[in-house]
Amino acid sequence: MASHRKWSPTGTRIAGIRTPALATAALTSVALLSQTANAAPSADSKPSVEEVEKKVDDLYHQAEAATEKYNATREKTAQQRKRVDSLLDDVAQRTEKLNTAREELGSFAAAQYRTGAAAPDTATLLLADNPQDYFDQTQLMDRLTSRQKVAVDDYITEQAATTKKRAEASQSLQTLTTTQSALKTSKADVQRKLAAARDLLSKLTAEEKARLAAIEKKQQEAADRKAAELAQQQAAAEKKAQEAAAQQQTTSGTTGTSGTSGTSGSSTTDSSYTAKADKALAFARTQIGKPYVWGATGPGSYDCSGLTQAAWKAAGVDLPRTTWDQVNVGTTVPLSDIKPGDLVFFYDDISHVGLYIGNGMMIHAPKPGAYVREESIFYGGESIIHSVVRPA
């Protein structure tokens, strides 16, 4: 049976008055808004060349940060794999010793059975999976010879040590699995960022690519001017220091006192650093033109921290693998005191590094699609320079 409901008129009421016209107008507005929302985007919604450049730069920056995370995870994975291999080797050796000890116990038990010299409980002790547990429940140790006691003690010791090492190996294998999973995640993250950047660039027209090149050229010219300014400032400071040193030497000669004893230590330190830096720079210069490849440490390609690590290794200085660790090696110096060989770190997340060569310039592996090259340390503006580190 159909339900009996009181019919109510359609439309809305304001102060008790029906207003169908207002309802109709509201529905019409909703329909128009819906059509507008579903309409195809206009040509004006396409990002400008400047927006594309900023987005691509951001993606490359994010990719480089993800690369450093990948580098750190890969290094951790390698270390964990070595630990697992070492533990498994140790377990294998201990298992062999354990088997030898158990065989010796078995030989004692067999000999006693043949001669009838042992009580059944003694043989049970010698053949037990855990002789210590069996001994704790009985008082059989006084029945064993001194050699048998040593064999039992050795077996118990090896059994405990082997069990412990097996547990360590199992835990290390779990940790290795976790780091390998993190490594895959980091790798996928890098690949996604780079794919997004390539996709943005592929959608540019020939005219837009030309405009983008012009923007980049303008930015490079500004960076080169900043580098020249830094070189001039350093040259002026060096000249002033030399004049002050000459004046001090003249004054010392006039008064008959020596003023060199306080500077000899500093001079020796500077000379030692310069010699090492020269070797690092010589290596870096021979890498110019090689492609940037994320996660690469040479010799055919490099990422940014892979290049600086290899350069300073050529000078006999071992640097950590990632920018995050390299920034903590050596001494932090002000930008005004930067010297050839120093490491220049960029961005708040310290995701990029270059090797300073002088005159405001550096050698670095810039980004995917680019090659190792010389470039102003102001390539992205002074604001992105995080710090300067003297690594030796």
Positions marked catalytic: 304, 352, 364
d(CA 304, CA 247) in angstroms, rounded, equals 43
d(CA 244, CA 240) in angstroms, rounded, equals 6
Say which residues have a Cβ less than 8 Å from residue 35's Cβ, sequence separation at least 6: none
Say which residues have a Cβ less than 8 Å from residue 125's Cβ, sequence separation at least 6: 131, 134, 135, 138, 140, 144, 152
Tokens of 196: 């997004």
Residues 81-91: b if buried by 16+ CB within 10 A, e if exposed: eebbeebeebb
Query: Distances in Å between the alpha carbon of 134 and those of 117, 124, 152, 315?
Result: 20, 8, 11, 63
Tokens of 290: 């090689």
d(CA 283, CA 314) in angstroms, rounded, equals 7
d(CA 350, CA 274) in angstroms, rounded, equals 25
User: Which residues partner with 13 through β-bridges?
Assistant: 18
3-state secondary structure of 348: coil
* Cβ 382 vs Cβ 303: under 8 Å: no
* Among candidate residues 157, 183, 153, 161, the one with its CA nearest the CA of residue 87: 161
* Cβ 90 vs Cβ 165: under 8 Å: yes
d(CA 133, CA 152) in angstroms, rounded, equals 12
